């Protein structure tokens, strides 16, 4: 049985579509990236999987429990870890008190191990924490009871580069241990480092479900070129290049063609500088999945309840 299995999962807020007819599975021991720009429906999906929102139609199972069955889902949550986008910790409590509270509910067999990796200042009140320290506290509480499944909403938000690297390595190790990890992100480089497969959400609908290598091959690279002489953007209009534009100081474009052709083209110009890196995830959406939709498909993290209340009041 899949760790997560969605069948026509739909959530609406009156006439506003949160997510619509999502059908896909996440297998045991898989690191699954759930991608999309802000407003695509990622947080709505996660909250529905956790039973925090009720599906309008369709359903999903999490660790074998139907999300519409409250008692079964409560039991499944003992084997689940969760890092929300809005952490919502008690600002007046210390980190140690918060971990003690979670330990009393679900256990903490891996607490000390995790505190060696992620180092929030446990003796201080959360109100004194930086964003990164709050995120590290959230990661410890999510994994410390050795769950079978961990669901995370933008888990590296606020972490410094060193802690991000530590997190990526930790996730790879968890995959080797058989832990299933489902997390939302809009950072393509992050997905490349740790995911096995990705689902791409656009305006509440699943527009792609594929392995990471396929996504990267389609996404191409973002190229930024500075030349000695003035060169018009049209000079870089070759097969595989798109979204070509001049910033005044450089010419930028996304390239998904043959690299030999790109190198040959660059050799035709006197170069001051060349940068080649991952394109923004939004550029991948723009090129391969149609024009970018509006952000109306999903309330921002933390606003689902407010939107639902507005619909109810209407």
CB 285 within 8 A of CB 200: yes
Residue 289 confidence (pLDDT) = 56
Pairing of strands 80-83, 149-153: parallel
Compute the distance between CA of residue 73 and CA of residue 59 in angstroms, rounded to an integer. 13
Q: What are phi and psi of 105, to 5 degrees?
A: -95, -40
In this prediction, residue 286 carries a pLDDT of: 60
Q: How far apart are CA 233 and CA 228, in angstroms?
A: 14
Cα separation, 271 vs 291, whole angstroms = 33
So what's the pLDDT on residue 298?
43
3-state secondary structure of 202: strand
- Cα–Cα distances in angstroms (integers) from residue 145 to residues 107, 141, 165, 179, 261, in the given order: 5, 8, 22, 12, 52
Global pTM value:
0.77
In order of their start, the domains of the chain are 4-88+140-216 (3.40.50.300), 221-278 (3.30.70)
pLDDT at 189: 73
Provide the 8-state DSSP code for 157.
T
DSSP string, 13-69: ETTEEEEEEEEEEE-TT-EEEEE--TTSSHHHHHHHHTTSS--SEEEEEETTEETT-
314 residues of the chain, pLDDT tens digit each: 799 999 999 999 998 999 999 999 999 999 999 988 778 899 999 999 999 999 999 999 999 999 999 999 999 999 999 999 889 999 999 999 999 999 999 999 999 999 999 999 999 999 999 999 999 999 999 999 999 999 999 899 889 999 999 999 999 999 999 999 999 987 777 887 899 999 988 889 998 898 887 777 776 788 999 999 889 999 999 998 988 999 988 999 989 888 899 999 999 999 999 999 877 666 666 655 554 443 433 444 433 443 333 333 33
Which positions ≥6 away from 63 have C-beta within 8 Å?
A: 3, 76, 79, 80, 148, 149
């Amino acid at each position: 049985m899949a760790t997560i299995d969605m069948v026509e999962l739909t959530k609406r807020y009156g006439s506003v579509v949160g997510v619509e007819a999502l059908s896909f599975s996440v297998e045991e021991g898989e690191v699954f990236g759930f991608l999309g720009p802000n407003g695509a429906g990622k947080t709505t999906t996660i909250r529905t999987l956790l039973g925090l929102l009720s599906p309008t139609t369709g359903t999903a199972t999490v660790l074998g429990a139907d999300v519409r069955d409250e008692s079964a889902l409560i039991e499944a949550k003992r084997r689940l870890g969760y890092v929300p986008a809005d952490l919502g910790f008690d600002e007046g409590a210390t980190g140690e008190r918060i971990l003690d509270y979670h330990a009393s509910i679900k256990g903490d067999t891996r607490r000390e191990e995790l505190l060696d990796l992620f180092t929030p200042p446990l003796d201080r009140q959360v109100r004194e924490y930086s964003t990164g320290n709050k995120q590290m506290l959230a990661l410890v509480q999510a994994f410390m009871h050795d769950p079978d499944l961990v669901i995370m909403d933008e888990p590296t938000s606020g972490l410094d580069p060193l802690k991000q690297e530590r997190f990526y390595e930790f996730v790879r190790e968890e995959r080797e241990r058989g832990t299933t990890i489902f997390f939302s992100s809009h950072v393509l480089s992050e997905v490349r480092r740790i995911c096995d497969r990705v689902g791409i959400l656009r305006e509440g609908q699943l527009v792609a479900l594929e392995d990471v290598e396929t996504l990267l091959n389609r996404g191409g690279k973002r190229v930024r070129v500075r030349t000695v002489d003035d060169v018009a953007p049209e000079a870089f209009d070759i097969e595989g290049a798109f979204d070509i534009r001049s910033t005044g100081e450089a010419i930028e474009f996304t390239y998904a063609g043959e690299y030999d052709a790109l190198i040959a083209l660059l050799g035709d110009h006197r170069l001051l500088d060349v940068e080649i890196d991952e394109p923004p995830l939004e550029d991948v959406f723009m090129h391969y999945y149609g024009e970018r939709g509006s952000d109306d498909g999903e309330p921002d993290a933390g606003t689902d309840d407010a939107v639902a209340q507005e619909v109810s009041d209407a």
